[in-house]
Amino acid sequence: MYYAGTGIGSDVQGNKISKSFTEAGLTTIYAGIDAAHFIGVDHLRDLRAPDVIGNAKEGSVYGGGKLSKIAEHGGHAIADRAVPIVVSGAGIEHLTVTEHVDTIQIAPTVLHLLELNPKELKAVKIEGTKVLPELD
């Protein structure tokens, strides 16, 4: 579901200007139940369901004043969700994993490779996140 509105954006010189959401780099905004359904969770049972999700147009960058970019998160575009992962180190043989993996598997994999227990991570306990295949 799409929700229209306005927000603060910037022009090409980095000056703040008011823009409608369709001009602020968003293609879709989900709120409330729609946001929970978008990511496939029950908003009544999973308290981590976000209140609002905005899908940015490919190539959109959000930042502070004068176009400064502080940090970046993955987006909804395929290029943001399909990322290569290279694991290298002593004792790790060359292999190619062809099955589906998620970036959330990186943290438990790093801990495992450092001979630490990934199950000490709260998220791993709750979600059952697995170490990357072939590295466990």
Q: What residue segments make up the domains of the chain, in order of their start?
A: 6-64, 82-127
| pLDDT on residue 1 | 47
H/E element, 75: none
Nearest-Å Rg of the Cα atoms of the chain is 19
Q: Kindly report which listed range (34-38, 69-73, 83-87, 130-134) carries the lowest average pLDDT score.
A: 69-73
98 alpha-carbon distance from chain centroid: 22
Instruction: Name the residue with higher pLDDT: 116 or 6.
Output: 116
Q: Kindly report which listed range (48-62, 69-83, 90-104, 116-130) carries the lowest average pLDDT score.
A: 69-83
Sign of CA dihedral 40, 42, 43, 47: negative
Q: Is the model's pLDDT at 3 over the cut of 60?
A: no
- Other beta carbons less than 10 A from residue 43's beta carbon: 17
| pLDDT on residue 104 | 86
H/E element, 25: none
SS3 22: helix
| Distance in angstroms (rounded) separating the CA atoms of residues 27 and 35 | 14
pLDDT tens, position by position, 86-133: 888 777 788 888 888 888 898 999 999 899 999 999 989 998 999 998
| pLDDT on residue 75 | 64
